[in-house]
Structure 1
């Protein structure tokens, strides 16, 4: 196993019935084959909460949050500086989830006024909340400033001016970081690689036409505005990253920019944020990045670069989201139609693929359709001795691309009424969910200590009709 890959945190690998990656830490098979999460069986979860349902292993979420906080604190303390860990709320944010993060010592990073409202309603200390986004509205910025937000990450020169004006109008000084793009291309799909030049986020560290780099121009503009306080420089290179070398390369670029700014203005920013994007296991046989190994290597890289540049170490912050909540969640479905389909391969041979339809689909997990993301599924309500067959798990939407799991081996006796679970769906399932075909969004249910509770209730058709003006006539 690579030094960067790890099993799940704080779990006995020999625990009876334990599934391991990509399932939540407490997931295990009972003697009769039923899956339980947080000590709660899936049959009980389905009976209480219906399907589809997002199920979160609260203990796993908390353990992963602690693992990141502890690993980075220890690694950077060893080189002589401190760290902050912000939970990236875009992965999944509810009031309870925000509270869990805060209770485990994490701040919360938000990317919209709605996410900010959830963090504030959860009681997250506002000094430990950040506001991201490439196109923030003046109203969102005003709300953040009035709440006393800890930091606003500005994404463009125009936004520097807008935030400065909003702050000046309120007689406050806005704490800001400048998001930069370092040219490092990392992540599992082009759409989630966020530090290459040709994309919407941040400001390039590379000079343009012989003049200052856009990132330097933004930093200078912040320094010049009395209604802004420059906290630091922010970098985020992508998502689902399984090679940590990109973080080290990006850190060098950011620290070099920091030193250049100090040389020109005398302002040495106190903090550098290296973003998130730590990869997780989605399929059996895969493994996630180990926070301890990554933290140690990045800390040493930061220390080495600062030594070369002759600058003091900054405070360092990171923003894990998927790597905390993704593996802690499953989506629980009920099987409906099961249909064998004859498929002709490229070589002219034929084989049978079993299409297994479930009572959700692309409305509760758009990632397979959007990114071609791969997931793993199992029949979880019972045991089966049937030989496994090639299957594709699909949803109930009026789209041929409504695929939940592209390819998986399921028991040949899979049938209507079976409970089926898809692993590692804690991140981006609920947060990217839609009402396509007017399906209602599933509930978010927490399971821990042998009990479950609803964090976000299931939507109803009445909820959908309540938004339709003519339905109220």
Structure 2
């Protein structure tokens, strides 16, 4: 009877060694993605940079890997920035996002000399100017722009449309005022612009449309305000395979199309092509992670369905409840057995909506079997909670056939440690 091997490691043995639920992350796959970024973007196109979007998955060990590989990192909170600080990540390679950064977060970013702060609104610009003045530091910023492009993805992960909580609208009165405020400040250095149009995107069309919008803006503000755009951050959002026909396209599918359009538009407008930054996150780690569970209760409702209970669910993977996300999975200790059943994988939370997978085709299942859910490397550990007072799982990283613990399993005492 064969067991499921993930990155050449026996997942059933991992479940025995570390218990379940268990996040498993392959450093081998992560390094494959980083090498593709270097080869097909950084080395292929001059004056470029790639930063890892850490909100997808961030631990101290992941930050160390990004640092070692020489890429930058995108953070969206004080906690993510603090993680980078604790591993001595080069601050000049940090890009700090967020639509409502707190005063404490802004102070941390200024104090630690973060490389780029992506400014979302006038309120933040004013706070940043005051904080930079306090520390007598020049702060490099980009303005986040909403290019007015609708992406084809779940409405909760679209970000580039006109009606968005993110970014400065492309209204002439608003954007011109923002640019003038920045360039007239003694403590702010406006480098250029940023856009991000959504996540889990399968086509490059909306990225290309956004490039057209931004180059038009670059031309306008050069003519009207004399401002030359030195940097354009194009975000990320490149999709991966979760199930069905969804696919992880090569990075070059997105980046080549964007760079070709940018070069063409810059020639048309007689603009110098700015430095281009990309921010892949899910594309790097999504398929590099799986989650292992132990099967418990099996409840057959005749002529309706069979519910199979696992020892995790919504707290370690809220995406099915949030986005109706769909996953592929298999029985790790029965990968060579005949598929005979259709079951629904139910989480252990006291919630009717805690269903991980509907109608999964499996061999005959028994209590104690190990379920492996695929493509859980992004937005699972990072979104995990203690709902129902369930401790968060451990995280194991595997590399070249070896495994190492990078996050300990939480205990009940960990859940209570801040309570009075």
Q: Place the TM-score, normalised by the shorter chain, in its bin.
A: over 0.9
Conserved 8 A contact 2:292-2:372: yes
Secondary structure class of the residue paired with 2:313: coil
Shift of 1:258: 1.8
Out of 128, 143, 146, which is 1:163 matched to? 128
> Number of residues paired by the alignment?
420
Shift of 1:142: 1.1
Q: What are the residue-to-residue correspondences of 1:214-253 with 2, within 5 Å?
A: 214-253=174-213
Out of 69, 74, 82, which is 1:109 matched to? 74
Deviation string, structure 1 residues 301-346 (Cα, Å, up to 9, x no partner) = 000111111101011001000000001000010001111234xxxx
What's the RMSD between the two structures over aligned residues? 1.4
Residue 358 (structure 1) aligns with: 310
Out of 130, 133, 148, which is 2:98 matched to? 133
Distance 2:285 2:355 in 1: 22
Out of 358, 363, 367, which is 1:416 matched to? 367
Shift of 1:76: 2.6
Deviation string, structure 1 residues 319-374 (Cα, Å, up to 9, x no partner) = 000000001000010001111234xxxxxxxx442211110000000000000011
Shift of 1:105: 2.5
> Structure 1 370/454 Cα, relative in aligned 2: closer, same or farther at 3 Å?
same
Please tell me whether residue 60 in structure 1 is matched to residue 29 in structure 2: yes
Out of 174, 183, 196, which is 2:161 matched to? 196
Residue 233 (structure 2) aligns with: 273
Shift of 1:283: 1.3
Residue 346 (structure 1) aligns with: none
Secondary structure class of the residue paired with 1:48: helix
Deviation string, structure 1 residues 116-151 (Cα, Å, up to 9, x no partner) = 011121222110011111111111111111111101
Conserved 8 A contact 1:112-1:133: yes
Secondary structure class of the residue paired with 2:23: strand
Residue 37 (structure 1) aligns with: 6
Distance 1:400 1:384 in 2: 32
Q: What are the residue-to-residue correspondences of 1:263-342 with 2, within 5 Å?
A: 263-283=223-243, 285-342=245-302
Residue 11 (structure 1) aligns with: none
Secondary structure class of the residue paired with 2:351: coil
Q: Give the TM-score of the pair, scaled to structure 1.
A: 0.86
Structure 1 residue runs without a partner (length 5+)? 1-31, 343-350
Distance 1:232 1:179 in 2: 9
Deviation string, structure 1 residues 32-52 (Cα, Å, up to 9, x no partner) = 320122332112211221100
Distance 2:284 2:177 in 1: 35
Residue 5 (structure 1) aligns with: none
Secondary structure class of the residue paired with 2:84: helix
Conserved 8 A contact 2:238-2:254: no
Distance 1:305 1:136 in 2: 33
Shift of 1:289: 1.9
Shift of 1:196: 0.7
Please tell me whether residue 460 in structure 1 is matched to residue 411 in structure 2: yes
Conserved 8 A contact 1:340-1:353: yes
Residue 437 (structure 1) aligns with: 388
Distance 1:125 1:465 in 2: 34
Secondary structure class of the residue paired with 1:421: strand
